[in-house]
Amino acid sequence: MSGQVVRKVVVAGGGTAGWMAAAALSKQLGPLLDITLVESDDIGTVGVGESTIPTARTFNALLGIDEAQFMRETQSTFKLGISFENWGQIGDRYIHSFGQVGKSTWMGGFHHFWLQARAQGFGGDLGDYCFELKAAEAEKFFTDNEATTNYAYHLDATLYGRFLRKMSEGRGVRRLEGKIASVSQRADNGFIEALVLESGEVIEGDLFIDCTGFRGLLIEQTLKAGWDDWSPWLPTNSALAVQTTSTGPAVPYTRAIAHRAGWRWKIPLQHRVGNGLVYCSDYMSDDEARAQLLAEIEGEPLIEPRVIRYGAGRRRKTWSKNCVALGLASGFVEPLESTSIHMIMIGVTRLMQLFPFGGVTNALVERYNRLAEDELEKIRDFIILHYKATERTDSPFWDYCRTMEIPDSLAQRIALFRESAQVYQTPGELFQVDSWLQVLLGQKVEPSSHHMMGHLVPPEQLKRALGDLKGSIERAVREMPSHQAFIDSYCPSARPPSPN
């Protein structure tokens, strides 16, 4: 297709992924494109991606979204991080926050000073030097145009899709209702030519975006892009999801609570709570999972729990011929670190940066796929870390995770930290040094040595500097309103009608 003008973009599937793609393309490239989205009301969406990471704020800003309005319409609350409970050992708890830990230097990270202080008998907890972490623990929140707090959102993914649909249609995106019956390909090169609906309507396009979920109707069923299976490293393959009534103020963090065969999430929205139980079907049956979930949730269930099946892995080609896969159609690395919505955002952002205006070329496709592969593999390693770095011996599932072989790329990172407390991030990597540090230490991966730059600071001077930093964070947190009080004043949403 080199040299062919690409103007007609067809998005196959709605949901969060489809409408995020349509909203971004229509906002940023609207005058240059003719965008059609095809979806069926009869095909449900997974719709449980309720927790985001801070890149969601950047994406919303790219779309020109007013934060308070978006939060009201999607029942959103703020998120400062994730509380991991029972991951290292039963009874353990740590918070992986979105904040910066201390103040680093060009020579090394702040944690080397902290490790030196700890060796000398002072310094407290590493979390004492992270504003976002201490605010999360205190269940407080505040932001304005001048605040530097790093945060994300808890949101209703279905309402977010509706919000983006309204925005997209207002910018000229055409929505067609109907099921896709078949996919027409060109005889000469196998490129997708059109979608054929059950009604017989033919939707032609130059570029197709596959947002059809796990089934990958275009990218896999039609173009056979291939699949890399990551289940040996990420063995969970099932989830049960249920919504419940709120029983107290919303906290500014997601809870990820490990159990004998996986983990359970708890995500507070303004008027309800999203709950789910992630598990491996080799170690827990659906009936056992349902019973455990219903026994542990708080509040009244608003819907019947539903089972979601998945497999961890990625398409070998996220972009194949003239089709780009987004969301679950491109791959899945389970929801532990709330990366699913981010992967949609970065996928469509990358597409806009590499958009094939002069036609689809091998060089463009290879560049897109290389970037997508690299980012997803690094996210994969970060999530595997949570399972591998455990001391739990209470169940066969955790025995497997603790002893399993892991990718060399992750094994090298863990070894580097154990030996010398060195943590790094590569250019463009999603999870930065502070994230790796909080999870490694949170799950008791203890370094045997550290950089001696802290030795250059007299102990009393180091103690005073750490005390000043800790004190300034404590004072700032004390002055903040509670998370619930800030939501009530900033972005209160109308209580939705009770489900039938």
Catalytic machinery residues: 79
Q: Among 323, 34, 369, 386, which Cα is nearest to 176's?
A: 34
CA 445 to chain centre: 24
In the chain the first and final C-alpha atoms are separated, in Å, by 50
Bridge partner residues of 163 (DSSP):
none
Q: Among 127, 19, 36, which Cα is nearest to 83's?
A: 127
Q: Which residues are CB-neighbours of 460 under 8 A, at least 6 positions away?
A: none
Q: Among 247, 359, 279, 455, which Cα is nearest to 5's?
A: 359
Four-residue CA torsion sign, 137, 141, 145, 146: negative
How many CA atoms are closer than 13 Å to the CA of 461, on its beta-carbon side? 5
Residue pair 412/423 in contact by the 8 Å Cβ criterion: no
* Residue 456 φ/ψ, nearest 5 degrees: -80, -10
Q: Which helix (H) or strand (E) holds 240?
A: strand 238-245
